[in-house]
Amino acid sequence: MDFKRIEWIFFFAFLGLNLFLFSMYREAKLDQNITSRTNETIPLYKRLASENIKYEGDFSARKRDGYYLSGVPTDFEQALKSERERLKQPDLLSKQTTIDEHVLTHTINDVIMMTDRGQVEEVLSKILNQPHLVLFGDEYQYIAEDTNLMNDNPEIVAGQYYEEIPINDPASRLTLRLEKEADHWSVDQYIQTHISELQPLRESMPTYSEREAINTLYINNQIPPNSKILWRKLAYKMTLIVRGQAIFVPTWFIQIETNNNEVKTEMVNAFTNRIITNSVIATVEDQK
């Protein structure tokens, strides 16, 4: 057997494969550059219009300042004990209240009704401003995008906020559950989560703009043709847990309705302009 000949055959085979892969790589880079240049020269609104993608208003080019925030999930047992002592009300939320780790659930006995959708913020404010009814009420604000009165389980949603930017995350939320009657809604109970000791980890940084976040979703094919952008909002989202500390980052939330009437919410990290819709919250614990 001519081993020398076999060696040369393998050499040319691998050389050909490498040349093929290199050409594919160059082609991909060329396509990427062409796409990038195209995106730079054709305005975003024209590209969206060409694919019948609808939206309301204009996309803001404002780059707001935000932070990497840290905080800890609230110990409701301890928080409730402290509030009872502060208010001198030993029976505060002692009835029809359950605490499961970092989630507090309270059934409301008082009759609180709403006869019109326009009363949502009024009803929410009424509840948040009663210290005997809800803890940390002044730390929450209304989140219209997550509030829904149309489905079978109507609810009003509020979240904490930091320097006027809301926190849109299950770890920091107060949800009022409603019962739908013939001509009104009544508040049945609320479910609450809360983050304590919210503080920035470093100096503020400029975020990518709303327009840049929309562009990122578009060029990554996350806004399909003939769809509609329902709303977009900048809010904090938890991305990491380090030794019990929750880390939040400014995130663009963009809700899209496809031509199949499916609704999805895409998320773009406002510091890196990368899509994080399907990212998993990483957890870092102490090494033993």
What does the DSSP assignment read for 20-38? HHHHHHHHHHHHHHHHHHH
- Judge contact between 114 and 185, C-beta under 8 A: yes
Given pLDDT bands bounded at 50, 70 and 90, which one contains residue 4?
low
Amino acid at 244: G
CB atoms < 10 A from the CB of 226, how many?
11
Query: Of 268 and 8, which is predicted with more confidence?
Result: 268
Distance CA 178, CA 240 (A): 32
Distance CA 270, CA 65 (A): 10
Amino acid at 251: T
- pLDDT(237) > 70: yes
What is the pLDDT at residue 30? 46
Q: CB within 8 A of 168, min separation 6: which ones?
A: 143, 145, 146, 159, 233, 235, 236, 237, 251, 253
Q: Which run of H or E residues covers position 121?
A: helix 120-128
Nearest to 192 by CA among 133, 149, 248, 249: 133
- Judge contact between 192 and 70, C-beta under 8 A: no
What is the pLDDT at residue 110? 81
Distance CA 254, CA 213 (A): 9
Q: From start to end of the chain, where are the E strands?
A: 65-66, 69-73, 97-100, 103-107, 113-114, 140-142, 155-162, 165-166, 173-180, 185-192, 195-200, 205-206, 228-242, 245-257, 263-269, 282-284
CB atoms < 10 A from the CB of 99, how many?
16
Query: Of 104 and 150, which is predicted with more confidence?
Result: 104
Of 28-37, 121-130, 161-170, least confident by mean pLDDT is 28-37
Q: What percent of the chain has pLDDT over 90?
A: 69
The mean per-residue pLDDT over the stretch 191-201 comes to 96
What does pTM read for this prediction?
A: 0.82
What is the pLDDT at residue 282? 80
What is the pLDDT at residue 100? 92
Give the SS3 label for residue 89.
coil
Nearest to 168 by CA among 196, 190, 199, 147: 147
Q: CB within 8 A of 136, min separation 6: which ones?
A: 74, 79, 160, 194
The mean per-residue pLDDT over the stretch 253-278 comes to 95
What is the pLDDT at residue 239? 94
Segment 130-152, tens digit of pLDDT: 989 999 999 999 999 999 988 88
